[in-house]
Amino acid sequence: MTTTLGSNQINPAAALARAQAGAVLLDIRDDGERASGMAAPARGVAMAALIEEPARWIATSDAEVMLICASGRRSTAAAQALQTRGYTRVCSVAGGTTRWSAEELPMTPASESAEFLERYSRHLLLSDVGIEGQRRLRAARVALIGAGGLGSPAALYLAAAGVGRITVIDDDLVERSNLQRQVLHRDADIGRPKVDSARECLLALNPSIEVSAIKQRLLAENAHSLLAGHDVIVDGSDNFATRYLVNDACIALGLPLVYAAVQRFAGQVAVFWPTRAGQPGSCYRCLFPEPPPAQFAPNCAEAGVLGVLPGLLGMLQATETIKLLLGLGEPLIDTLLRVDALRMRFERVGLTRDLECVSCGQPGSTPPM
């Protein structure tokens, strides 16, 4: 291959001419990078995929092939790797798409906004997320029960991750005692509805998402209407009555429930999804068929809580939610993760579906609402 920069490189203008003459030009950046636009004659394939299976993209070992990345570094390394595997006419486009664009050579239009690509650039670099995963997050709908200690960090991380529609359900007002752990709110918010300060905070963090503020207490008569239409429900409530209500509504609606609870220096988190197709799990009532005696389960106002602990558990809830939305990894279905903050120990406890559970144990059973 004749180039202007030596046997392993070709300048962009020469590369364009060779592509127009029939040579193959491959953009080996990741999907998220290519969404900003490609050299117009190029086809896209991630570097790792090309190196793993070059014959899928290069017809013969003596085919004329040019590789382009962002700056030329990756394409140079990829060209060398292919040459060692017998591809004799492979070279790198010097300066990559940065130089190609600077020389005003033809580019395909961007498929996403510059703001989208910059904001989520670290997600886009992850092959398990990429552009399509980020679009799935943008299209997702998540409901958060409570804008308190658990709901605050969960909401912040979900908003930052780009979950497109977040519904915050809470009927409380911000109190000064909340500020030690409920990081959605500020001192100036004291006396305001939590959902209002939550919405304001989340949109300040990520103005590209939608946040619905529902100043209502979740009750049997409104649970279905408030939770329907979401993809995942995150429970940040602090009482058994609401947890049972959320659990039963999620079963009726077929939705996954990401649960957490904290007390003093300990907490726990799990995913309940007994209606999951193919791999059903247990529900909250399988774990707690009845509320424990009040003296064994005091709330934060009675027992206190280390301020950073809800942040840790809420972050875990956000992690599980994102995994569910993207179909990644192994969600904490049929697993209770216990957290001991004082000793910084994590313990996984297996959960079993209770076949006598009044909510999910019997096929066709109707949860008590």
Active site residues: 300
The DSSP symbol for 286 reads H
Amino acid at site 313 = L
Name the packing angle between helices 309-326 and 130-139 (round to 10°).
110
Specify burial of residue 81 (Cβ count, 10 A radius: 0-12, 13-18, 19+): middle
Q: What's the CA gap between 265 and 308, in Å, rounded?
A: 9
Q: What share of the chain is helix, strand, coil (3-state, %, to 5)?
A: 40, 20, 45
**Distance spanning both ends of the chain, measured CA to CA:** 73
Can you list the positions of beta strands (E) in 256-305?
A: 257-263, 266-272
Report the DSSP pairing between strands 65-68 and 141-145. unpaired
Pair type for strands 345-350 and 335-340: antiparallel
SS3 161: helix
Is residue 167 within 8 A of residue 142, CB to CB? The reply is: yes
- Within the chain, residue ranges assigned H as helices are 12-20, 31-34, 47-52, 73-84, 96-102, 114-119, 121-124, 130-139, 151-161, 194-205, 223-227, 240-253, 284-287, 300-303, 309-326
Q: Which residues of 139-167 are buried (b: 16+ CB within 10 A; e: fewer)?
A: ebbbbbbbbbbbbbbbbbbbbebbbbbbb
Tokens of residue 252, six digits:
């009726």
* Total Cβ atoms within 10 A of residue 75: 29
How many whole angstroms separate alpha carbon 49 and alpha carbon 72? 18
